[in-house]
């Protein structure tokens, strides 16, 4: 019933209905005015009673049909408004979520280092590593040189025979030569013969 009433109400509001109704009224009036008297069914002397009654019935039925169509349209509008409200709430929630995400992303981007900042940090770190390596190498070289110098001063072989290091001549101590003692020669007694030996004294 709702669809039928809505269809009729829509047809009543179209230009086609107005044109057809106008043509119908003109034909009705001309036929009952200029037509044969025997074939006239609605005399003009009575004020076209049948036409007036028919138009009154049409108007009386058109008003409720239009109201039914309006009620149906109101229900559809209410459903559409509810759907629009829900859609608007979802869009608002999505917008708020995106706004929060964008704010969090901006905060995160503020903490993210830029390319130039990373290059500077890496350059500083590389310089620190190079300086540490240089310091360690210097300490190792100093330790090896000291060990070689000590070994050279002690008269020992250096720790690395493959690449012996020359000791510093300024650190060498000049040693004085020790005086050598003359060799001690034992006195040689001359050999005596038995004939030359003195004779023992005779016994008294």
The 10s digit of each residue's pLDDT in 89-106 is 999 999 999 999 999 988
pTM of the model: 0.40
Helix (H) or strand (E) holding 171: none
Contact 25, 51 (CB under 8 A): yes
**C-alpha span between 44 and 32 (Å, rounded):** 7
Longest C-alpha distance within the chain, in Å? 236
Q: What percent of the chain has a predicted confidence (pLDDT) above 90?
A: 25
The mean pLDDT value of the chain amounts to 77
Domain coordinates of the chain in residue numbers? 2-80, 118-171
């Amino acid at each position: 019933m709702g669809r039928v009433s809505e269809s009729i109400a829509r047809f009543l509001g179209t230009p086609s209905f107005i044109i057809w109704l106008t043509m119908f009224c003109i034909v009705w009036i001309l036929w009952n005015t200029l037509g044969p008297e025997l074939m006239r069914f609605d005399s003009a002397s009575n004020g076209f009673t049948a036409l007036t009654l028919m138009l009154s019935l049409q108007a009386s039925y058109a008003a409720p049909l239009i109201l039914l169509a309006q009620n149906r349209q109101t229900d559809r509008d209410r459903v559409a408004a509810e759907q629009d409200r829900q859609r608007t709430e979802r869009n608002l929630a999505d917008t708020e979520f995106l706004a929060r995400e964008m704010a969090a992303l901006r905060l995160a981007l503020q903490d993210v280092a830029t390319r130039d900042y990373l290059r500077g940090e890496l350059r500083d770190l590389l310089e620190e590593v190079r300086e540490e390596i240089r310091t360690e190498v210097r300490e190792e070289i100093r330790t090896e040189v000291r060990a070689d110098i000590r070994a050279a001063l002690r008269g020992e072989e250096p720790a690395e025979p493959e690449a012996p290091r020359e000791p510093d001549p300024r650190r060498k101590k000049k040693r004085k030569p020790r005086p050598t003692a003359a060799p001690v020669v034992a006195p040689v007694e001359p050999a005596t013969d038995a004939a030359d030996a003195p004779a023992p004294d005779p016994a008294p």
